[in-house]
């Protein structure tokens, strides 16, 4: 199980934000009718979100919503670039029950489609036509993945350690500057690893629960800096995409202790906390265009057993907004079947490459080369089990390492030479590469803050220079 931010440097009392944000928020507020889009638009999502290779498949997801007292039929069509018959990608007829939300989706093969495109979703129902569009750029490639990071992970404690200033506005400015830097490097999909962890909320909320890890009540009322709003509002400006991590519900070892006699009760409590947090986040932040999906922060090694937690939480998130994907980050998967994958309610599996601590089955060797030597075999196995399942395979590539002198602790930024080798291996199997993590390990020199390792700036500069030299600025403009 991974969380590598040296959290002891911060305390809950050092996390600050405005009291006005707390008083304005309420979990009893009605859910937005159409989430991140107005009622006149069609809520749509594309996975992956923007830049892809010409050796993959893209999923197009449309939310159908019907609030009348009787069921209604919807005719859904998906087009490439223009809504004419010759550009039709797929068509579905869907009946939506009264007062319900449903998903309609279509898959598009990018082979032979290099260039910039617009995906169009169109729905006709009860004499009304709604339409939405989504930009996609397809890059010629000899592998399913591109040799760049399309996404990046943020650890909330790490964000504060890297960005916290003397005043709220300074902290906010530093967080915004880091989002700007991610966008400049084309890392336009962000996964915020957790909105609560170790007894601390990172957004103002009326929610609270007993955190078994720190043995005290964790309360959103204590939060005085709205990190989630700061990230989403800045991501909105750039057309970026953010998945919000629901946290670990005060039980970080939940999906590693199935044999404990109290596991069923622990799981029930964890589901309750996660779904309450998801509903709260949707109520507060569902209007943001950048809110792309959800990350279930609990990691796992056994999908069949972990689905007792994953599926109820993912199903709940899909009921809020069926088009928004749910992601998990498996940590140590030794075996998994296609049937288990198909039965999962999760949409995206971002597999940790586990290079940082040199993991080999059963132990951390603290020698990254030991893990790098196995990456081809590991990711080929992931690719094979994903084939034909309609579940997305992403890579969660660790850009840090540990020397092991104090055990699993004190991580530091890796060299770009090592990271580049990971990229070259994992892009052969995963259509999307994400960097874990940005703050403290991959840092823009323009962003001020404390606790900045010079090696993080060096990694940032080396990656930016390499990307520029190889004409890999693939961001949509």
The pLDDT tens digits of the residues spanning 247-297 come to 999 999 999 999 999 999 999 999 999 999 999 999 999 999 999 999 999
Q: What dihedral do alpha carbons 194, 200, 202, 204 form, nearest 10°?
A: 130
User: Looking at residue 68, what is its pLDDT?
Assistant: 85
* Same domain assignment for residues 229 and 258: yes
* Same domain assignment for residues 86 and 166: no
476 inside domain: no
* Contact predicate 117/136, CB 8 Å: yes
Per DSSP bridges, beta strands 241-245 and 189-192 are: parallel
User: Looking at residue 230, what is its pLDDT?
Assistant: 98
* Same domain assignment for residues 86 and 217: no
User: Looking at residue 450, what is its pLDDT?
Assistant: 67
Cis peptide before 143 (omega within 30 of 0): no
* Same domain assignment for residues 341 and 316: yes
* Same domain assignment for residues 131 and 157: no
User: Looking at residue 26, what is its pLDDT?
Assistant: 29
Other Cβ atoms less than 10 A from the Cβ of 55: the count is 18
33 inside domain: no
Give dist(CA 391, CA 393) in Å, integer: 7
* Same domain assignment for residues 297 and 404: yes
| Neighbour-count burial for 141-172, b at 16+ CB within 10 Å, e otherwise | bebbbbbbbbbbbbbbbbbbbbbbbeebeebb
User: Looking at residue 471, what is its pLDDT?
Assistant: 65
Give dist(CA 367, CA 404) in Å, integer: 9
CATH code of 217's domain: 3.20.20.80
- Which residue among 97, 118, 139 closes a domain? 139
- Which residue among 121, 139, 157 closes a domain? 139
* Contact predicate 291/35, CB 8 Å: yes
* Host domain of residue 278: 7-27+144-469
263 inside domain: yes
Give dist(CA 62, CA 78) in Å, integer: 9
* Contact predicate 245/195, CB 8 Å: yes
Give dist(CA 114, CA 92) in Å, integer: 26
135 inside domain: yes
User: Looking at residue 444, what is its pLDDT?
Assistant: 84
User: Looking at residue 4, what is its pLDDT?
Assistant: 52
Give dist(CA 337, CA 342) in Å, integer: 9
* Contact predicate 45/119, CB 8 Å: no
* Same domain assignment for residues 134 and 153: no
- Which residue among 119, 139, 159 closes a domain? 139
Give dist(CA 38, CA 69) in Å, integer: 22
* Same domain assignment for residues 75 and 198: no
In sequence order, what are the residues at sequence separation of 6 or more whose Cβ sits closer than 8 angstroms to the Cβ of residue 118? 80, 81, 133, 134, 135, 136
32 inside domain: no
* Same domain assignment for residues 396 and 449: yes
Residue 102 tokens, joined = 């449903």
CATH code of 108's domain: 2.60.40.10
pLDDT tens-place values along the chain, 477 residues long: 675 554 333 333 333 433 333 233 323 323 333 333 333 489 999 999 989 999 999 999 999 998 888 899 999 999 999 999 999 999 999 999 999 999 999 999 999 999 999 999 999 998 999 999 999 999 999 999 999 999 999 999 999 999 988 888 999 999 999 999 999 999 999 999 999 999 999 999 999 999 999 999 999 999 999 999 999 999 999 999 999 999 999 999 999 999 999 999 999 999 999 999 999 999 999 999 999 999 999 999 999 999 999 999 999 999 999 999 999 999 989 889 999 999 999 999 999 999 999 999 989 999 999 999 999 999 999 999 999 999 999 999 999 999 999 999 999 999 999 999 999 999 999 999 999 999 999 988 877 766 789 999 999 999 999 998 866 554 433
35 inside domain: no
169 inside domain: yes
Task: Spell out the SS3 assignment of the chain.
Answer: CCCCCCHHHCCHHHCCCCHHHHHHCCCCCCCCCCCCCCCCCCCEEEECCCEEECCCEEEEEEEEEECCCCCEEEEEEEEECCCCHHHEEEEEEEEECCCEEEEEEEEEECCCCCEEEEEEEEEEECCEEEEEEEEEEEECCCCCCCCCCCEEEECHHHHHHHHCCCCHHHHHHHHHHHHHHHHHCCCCEEEECCCEECCEECCCCCCEEEECCCCEEEEHHHCCCCHHHHHHHHHHHHCCEEEEECCCCCCCCHHHCCCCCCHHHHHHHHHHHHHHHHHHHHHHHCCCCCEEEEECCCCCCCHHHHHHHHHHHHHHHHHHCCCCCEEECCCCCCCCCHHHHHHCCCCEEEEECCCCCCEECCEECCCHHHHHCCHHHHHHHHHHHHCCCCCEEEEEEECEECCCECECCCCEECCHHHHHHHHHHHCCCCCEEEEECCCCCCCCCCCCCCCCCHHHHHHHHHHHHHHHHCCCCCCCC
* Same domain assignment for residues 107 and 154: no
Angle at 298 between CA 295 and CA 304, to 5 degrees: 100
Residue 215 tokens, joined = 């043995």
* Same domain assignment for residues 318 and 260: yes
* Same domain assignment for residues 234 and 103: no
Condensed to tens digits (0 to 9), the pLDDT of residues 186-225 reads 999 999 999 999 999 999 999 999 999 999 999 999 999 9
Domain count, the chain: 2
213 inside domain: yes
* Contact predicate 329/351, CB 8 Å: yes
Length of the chain: 477
């Amino acid at each position: 199980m991974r969380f590598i931010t040296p959290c002891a440097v911060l305390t809950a009392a050092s996390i600050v934000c405005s009291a006005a944000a707390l008083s304005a928020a309420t979990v009893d507020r009605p859910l937005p009718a159409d989430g991140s889009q107005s009622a006149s638009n069609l809520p749509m999502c594309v996975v992956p979100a923007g830049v892809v290779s010409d050796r993959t498949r893209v999923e197009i997801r449309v939310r159908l919503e019907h609030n009348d007292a009787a069921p209604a039929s919807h005719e859904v069509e998906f087009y490439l670039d223009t809504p004419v018959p010759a550009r039709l990608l797929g068509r579905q007829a869907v009946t939506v029950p009264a007062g319900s939300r449903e998903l309609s989706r279509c898959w598009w093969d990018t082979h032979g489609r290099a260039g910039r495109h617009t995906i169009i979703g169109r729905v006709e129902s009860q004499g009304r036509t709604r339409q939405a569009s989504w930009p996609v750029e397809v890059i010629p490639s000899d592998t399913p993945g591109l040799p760049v990071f399309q996404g990046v992970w943020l650890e909330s404690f790490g964000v504060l350690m890297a960005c916290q200033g003397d005043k709220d506005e300074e902290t906010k400015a530093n967080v915004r500057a880091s989002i700007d830097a991610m966008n400049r490097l084309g890392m336009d999909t962000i996964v915020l690893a957790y909105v609560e962890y170790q007894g601390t909320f990172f957004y103002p909320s009326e929610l609270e629960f007993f955190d078994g890890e720190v043995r005290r009540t964790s309360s959103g009322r204590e939060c005085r800096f709205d990190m989630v709003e700061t990230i989403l509002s800045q991501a909105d400006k750039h057309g970026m995409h953010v998945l919000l991590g629901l946290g670990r519900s005060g039980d970080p070892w939940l999906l590693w202790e199935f044999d404990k006699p109290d596991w069923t009760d622990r799981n029930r409590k964890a589901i309750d906390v996660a779904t309450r947090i998801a509903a709260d986040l949707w109520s507060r932040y569902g209007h943001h265009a950048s809110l792309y999906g959800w990350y279930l922060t609990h990691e796992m090694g056994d999908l069949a057993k972990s689905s007792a937690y994953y599926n109820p939480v993912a199903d709940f998130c899909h009921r809020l907004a069926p088009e928004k994907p749910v992601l998990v980050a498996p940590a140590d998967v030794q075996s998994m079947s296609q049937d288990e994958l198909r039965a999962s309610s999760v949409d995206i599996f971002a597999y940790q490459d586990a290079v940082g601590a040199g993991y080999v089955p059963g132990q951390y060797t603290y020698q990254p080369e030991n893990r790098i030597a196995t990456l081809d075999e590991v990711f080929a196995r992931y690719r094979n089990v994903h084939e034909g399942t309609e579940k997305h395979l992403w890579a969660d590539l660790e850009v840090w390492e540990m020397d092991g002198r104090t055990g699993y602790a004190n991580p530091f930024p890796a060299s770009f030479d090592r990271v580049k080798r990971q990229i070259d291996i994992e892009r052969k199997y995963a259509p999307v590469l994400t960097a874990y993590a940005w703050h403290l390990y991959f840092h823009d020199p323009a962003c001020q803050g404390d606790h900045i390792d010079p090696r993080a700036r060096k990694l940032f500069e080396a990656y930016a220079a390499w990307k520029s030299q190889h004409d890999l600025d693939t961001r949509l403009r």
